[in-house]
């Protein structure tokens, strides 16, 4: 097999498997590290040396046995997930050795692919890690959730929960670009400083120290709330709904406050508010917009180039640290996009 960068390659492929299905908050022992031979691509396949893995909240749902919008992650198989890396060998007509590619390559150092769902990442546009963040799936989620579902108008008050994460930080900045007053909710003083300082959110609060959510939101949103980009759900969302203005729009993007609960949580009854304030509440999944990625990605890149869309990354080092990076992200230890750096092949 012809390999362009053989001298930098490890001898084996470190992979992380799902070892057990968690109850409640996942544990390091729910994952197992194994080493296997580096696979050889056959006709129609490419071999990718992974540069960065993405760890994402949706992976928690896939660790359960129940099907949601995707099948459960299989036990004893490589954890699925997005990654960006370099084509080390190609027997595929659309991909050449040396190109950077993004795809669902999983938690491992080397991945074989048949090219399905694989996109190219251009290091001239931005560092390749951004293809897993602001210029990748989280950025697209923010773009479509905000512009298509929330449909903000200049002057609207937009509230974003999970505001210092990969999706939320992007959604808030897109709302600012569209002339909105943006209020963010996040879980640390550093996060609040970042989103109100560098990112230009108009106001924000730390939900871990300020527990009177309704009162705080009322203070920060004196004209009520027109759009809510919901990444977290739970008690925060109950409080936001009470302040929604007539004809307000709510994008249900994520419900991370509920992902690790052992028992279902019952909250406020919100449907009467949806009725009397004629709210539009819509769940969405980013891949429903796949046919429009070609519109969104150049726009996100343009905003980034003009300094209007900033990002941060929290980067763990090494395949073996993917589980701790994932658990840390679920605990809120990341600012911006949580990645795992694998190699610089
Ligand atoms: N609909 C879609 O197609 C789609 C696509 C991508 C992501 N999502 C959803 O979007 C949300 C954000 O995803 P992301 O990739 O950008 O992750 P992220 O925000 O970068 O990381 C997750 C963040 O969630 C916060 N969090 C954890 N537990 C929480 C709790 N109990 N209450 C409130 N916040 C909590 C933490 O920040 P704090 O310090 O602020 O707590 C943590 O940093 C997730 O809910 C995810 O499932 C949806």
- The whole-angstrom separation of Cα 50 and Cα 121 is 13
Spatial distance between the Cα atoms of 147 and 282, rounded to a whole number of angstroms: 13
pLDDT digits (tens, 9 = 90+) for 52-110: 999 999 999 999 998 888 889 999 999 999 999 999 999 999 999 999 999 999 999 99
Beta strand residue intervals within 79-130, DSSP E: 83-90, 100-103, 110-113, 119-121
Of all atoms in ligand 1, which is nearest to the CA of residue 333? 43
Sorting pLDDT into bands at 50, 70 and 90, what band is 345?
confident
Q: Determine what percent of the chain is predicted with pLDDT higher than 90.
A: 93
Q: Give the mean pLDDT of 39-53.
A: 97
Quote the CA–CA distance of 310 and 31 in Å, as a whole number.
33
CA 141 to ligand 1 center in whole angstroms? 12
User: For residue 50, what is the enclosing H or E element?
Assistant: strand 46-54
Confirm if 329 and 259 have CB atoms less than 8 A apart: no
Does the beta carbon of 75 lie inside 6 Å of ligand 1? Answer: no
User: 96 C-alpha vs ligand 1 centroid, how far in Å?
Assistant: 35
Q: CA geometry: angle at 42 spanning 38 and 46, to 5°? A: 70
Contact 163, 201 (CB under 8 A): yes
pLDDT at 70: 84
**In whole angstroms, what is the distance from residue 155 CA to residue 160 CA?**
15
Question: Which protein residue has the closest C-alpha to ligand 1 atom 32?
Answer: 257
Asked whether the predicted pLDDT for residue 7 surpasses 80, the reply is no
- Measured CA to CA, the distance from residue 251 to residue 156 in angstroms comes to 15
Residue 153 has pLDDT above 50, yes or no: yes
Q: How confident is the model at residue 6 (pLDDT cuts 50, 70, 90)?
A: low
103-135 pLDDT per residue, tens = 999 999 999 999 999 999 999 999 999 999 999
pLDDT at 309 over 80: yes
pLDDT at 2 over 50: no
**Tell me: the pLDDT tens digits for 163-177?**
999 999 999 999 999
The answer to whether the CB of 237 is under 6 A from ligand 1 is no
The SS3 assignment for 175 reads: helix
Average pLDDT over residues 225-245: 98
Q: Is the dihedral of CA 247, 253, 258, 264 positive or negative?
A: positive
Measured from the Cα of 141, ligand 1's closest atom is 5
Cβ-proximal residues to 56 (8 Å cutoff; 6+ apart), any chain: 81, 82, 137, 138, 329
Locate the ligand 1 atom nearest the alpha carbon of residue 234 and give its number.
32
Q: Which of 166, 240, 256, 257 to mutate to test the pocket of ligand 1 (most atoms within 8 A of CB)?
A: 256
Atom of ligand 1 nearest to the CA of 56: 15
Q: What's the distance, CA 172 to chain centroid?
A: 14
What confidence tens digit (pLDDT) does each residue in 258-272 have?
999 998 888 899 999
Q: Indicate whether residue 254 lines ligand 1 (CB < 6 A).
A: yes
Q: 136 CB contacts (<8 Å, ≥6 apart)?
A: 54, 82, 84, 102, 130
Answer whether 132's CB lies under 8 Å from 65's CB: no
pLDDT of 1 > 50? The answer is no
Does residue 47 surpass a pLDDT of 80? yes
27, 70, 173, 245 from 60: Cα distances, Å: 11, 12, 27, 33
Confidence tier at 198 by pLDDT (50, 70, 90): very high
């Amino acid at each position: 097999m012809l390999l362009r960068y053989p001298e930098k390659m490890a001898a084996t492929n470190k992979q992380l498997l799902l070892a057990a299905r968690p109850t409640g908050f996942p544990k390091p022992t729910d994952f197992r590290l194994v080493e296997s031979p580096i696979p050889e691509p056959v006709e129609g396949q490419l071999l990718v040396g992974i540069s960065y893995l993405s760890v994402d909240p949706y992976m928690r749902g896939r660790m359960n046995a129940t099907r949601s919008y995707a099948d459960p992650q299989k036990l004893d198989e490589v954890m699925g997930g997005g990654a960006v890396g370099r084509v080390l060998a190609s027997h595929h007509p659309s991909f050449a050795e040396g190109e950077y590619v993004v795809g669902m390559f999983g938690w491992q150092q080397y991945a074989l692919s048949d090219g399905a769902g694989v996109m190219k990442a251009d290091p001239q546009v931005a560092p390749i890690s951004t293809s897993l963040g602001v210029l990748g799936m989280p950025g697209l989620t923010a773009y479509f959730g905000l512009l298509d579902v929330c449909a903000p108008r200049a002057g609207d008050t937009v509230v974003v929960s999970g505001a210092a994460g990969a999706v939320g930080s992007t959604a808030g900045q897109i709302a600012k670009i569209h002339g909105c007053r943006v209020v963010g909710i996040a879980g640390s003083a550093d996060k609040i400083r970042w989103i109100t300082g560098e990112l230009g959110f108009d106001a924000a609060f730390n939900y871990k120290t300020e527990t009177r959510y309704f009162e705080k939101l009322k203070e920060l949103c004196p004209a009520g709330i027109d759009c809510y980009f919901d990444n977290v759900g739970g008690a925060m969302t109950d409080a936001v709904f009470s302040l929604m203005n007539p004809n307000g729009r709510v994008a249900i993007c994520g419900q991370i406050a509920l992902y690790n609960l052992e028992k279902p949580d019952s909250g406020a009854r919100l449907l009467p508010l949806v009725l009397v304030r004629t709210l539009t509440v819509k769940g969405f999944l980013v891949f429903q917009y796949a046919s429009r990625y070609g519109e969104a990605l150049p726009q996100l890149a343009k905003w980034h180039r003009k300094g209007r869309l900033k990002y941060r990354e929290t980067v763990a080092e090494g395949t073996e640290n993917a589980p701790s990076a994932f658990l840390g992200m679920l605990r809120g230890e990341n600012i911006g996009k949580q990645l795992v750096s694998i190699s610089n092949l």
